[in-house]
Amino acid sequence: MNPPIRSQRRRPRRRAFILLMVLLLLAGGAYGAWNWLGGGKDEETTRLTAKISRGDIENLVTATGTLQPRSYVDVGAQISGQVMAIHVEVGSQVEEGQLLAEIDPTVYLARVDASRAQLRYQRAQLQDREAQLALARITHTRQRNLYAEDATTLESLQTAEAGLKSAQAQIEMLKAQIEQTESSLRADEANLEYSRILAPMAGTVVSITARQGQTLNANQQAPIILQIAELSTMTVQTQVSEADISRLQPGMAVYFTTLGGGERRWYGSLERIEPTPTVTNNVVLYNALFNVPNPRHFLMTQMTAQVFFIESAARDTLLVPMSALTLTGPAAGRTGRPGMREARPGSGDEEPPVVRARRGLVTVLKDDGRIEERVVEIGVSNRVQAQVLSGLEEGETVVLAGRAPTAPSTTPRQAGGDRIPGLGPTGMGPGLR
């Protein structure tokens, strides 16, 4: 009976041992999680910092645009008829006056032949009437001489005068008929010439809407056969929202990229802003247009362009992250004039836009671990970075927005060491606590 009693005594000890091991494992896991989440790290190791470095910065207005040829023409038919032949294809380069297509000229050729025959008949009638007019003049002269010698009656003289006037009137009538026939002949010859569709301008055939054998009806409106565009200069039609349109000014630099074009930029300058908006899904959009050279025809019609209007820019300047800045207001009497040498190639050395400098506070981390709140002046800025005009040097370390620093701080000072008036020991004004 003793062995069963011993096993019963060992069971509570085993349970206590297992419970102890579970508690130890839970404690170890909690400690590891606490360290992994940063609870065991020093405050200095969790502080986010960034170095002041040099680079380029742009303040941009972005929009989406569509490429169109600057000049193009829809080539249509001015007469009705069946298309006999089309002599070009989409993509063909054509010169002004080149034959593009032909319409069956049978009917118009017959009208021209009929008008010419009618004109010949009327001219022959005119010759006959001119001969009769000459005879009427002779008769009138004879009757007048005879009447002067009292050798004929007054009635014969009056008859001769009436015959002369009638012959003259018939001449004028025939001349008018000939003019009318000549006018009709010119119209018929023009319609016959319209059966040959000629290029009104030099360019590239970008579309063909008619087909050989198709019958065209030009009685109501001119049917379009093809379109010719001059692709050496393209127009970018950009739709800008009403929230950003006030930031655009004609003449400002702009560039765009295309889908599949990689990082290649196409530069231009804003030509005009159309005052009439378009409303799409209750969104008010304004058309902003500019031209861009396209000598090698890399840009094509209806391409989508991601457009960037350069409101201001700076090249090779000191940059500070916006997350390290607390803006305090404009800098009195200070303006920045950033360079824009790459923004408008080929447009001359125009003066870049004047940018109003602003003040801000940054926290600078010293090499010995101390922090210093400092006032800086910034120029061009966007949502990510800002141009440093004064207050920071290249290579200095600034603290980004995040956990509040605990290291000792110094009184904020301007560039040059002067204390900022109106700021307390912490460097924070009443509105910046």
pLDDT tens digits for 268-306? 999 999 999 999 899 999 999 999 999 998 999 899 999
Q: What range does the domain containing 97 cover?
A: 83-104+195-212
Non-local CB neighbours of 369 within 8 Å, separated by 6+ positions: 44, 407
Question: What's at 57, amino acid-wise?
Answer: I
The residue among 307, 333, 419 whose CA lies nearest residue 373 is 419
Answer yes or no: do 100 and 113 share one domain: no
List of residues 6+ apart from 385 with CB closer than 8 A: 55, 57, 319, 320, 321, 322
407 is a domain residue:
yes
Say if residue 295 is in the same domain as residue 251: yes
pLDDT of residue 65: 95
Backbone angles phi, psi at 88, to 5 degrees: -130, 165
The stretches in the chain having pLDDT less than 50 are: 1-2, 5, 40-45, 339-351, 403-433
225, part of any domain:
no
Position 22 in a domain: no
Binning the chain into helix, strand and coil, the percentages to the nearest 5 are 30, 35, 30
Does residue 224 lie within any of the structural domains? Answer: no
**CA atoms lying within 13 Å on the CB side of residue 375:** 24
- 188-197, pLDDT tens digit by residue? 999 999 999 9
The conformation of residue 217, written as its DSSP 8-state character, comes to -
Residues 23-63: tens digit of each pLDDT: 777 777 776 665 555 554 444 445 789 999 999 999 999 99
What is residue 334's predicted lDDT score, i.e. its pLDDT?
59
Which amino acid appears at position 193 of this protein?
E
Q: 113: which residues sit within 8 A by CB, 6+ positions away?
A: none
Domain count for the chain: 3
220 part of a folded domain: no
Selection from 296, 292, 246 nearest residue 273 by Cα: 246
DSSP state of 324: G
Does residue 326 sit in the same domain as residue 206? no
Residue 131 lies in a domain: yes
Tokens matching residue 397: 């370390």
Compute the distance between CA of residue 299 and CA of residue 125 in angstroms, rounded to an integer: 64
Give the separation between CA 371 and CA 364, rounded to whole angstroms.
6
The DSSP secondary-structure symbol of 345 reads T
Distances (CA, A) of 303 to 91, 261, 290, 298: 16, 11, 15, 10
Name the one residue in this structure whose structure tokens are 């102890």.
Answer: 20
Same-domain status, 249 and 358: yes
The torsion of the CA quartet 224, 226, 231, 236, rounded to 10 degrees, works out to 40
Query: Which residues make beta-bridge pairs with 230?
Result: 71
Pair (181, 208) in one structural domain: no
What ranges in 204-324 are assigned the alpha helix state H?
none
Assigned domain for 281 exists: yes
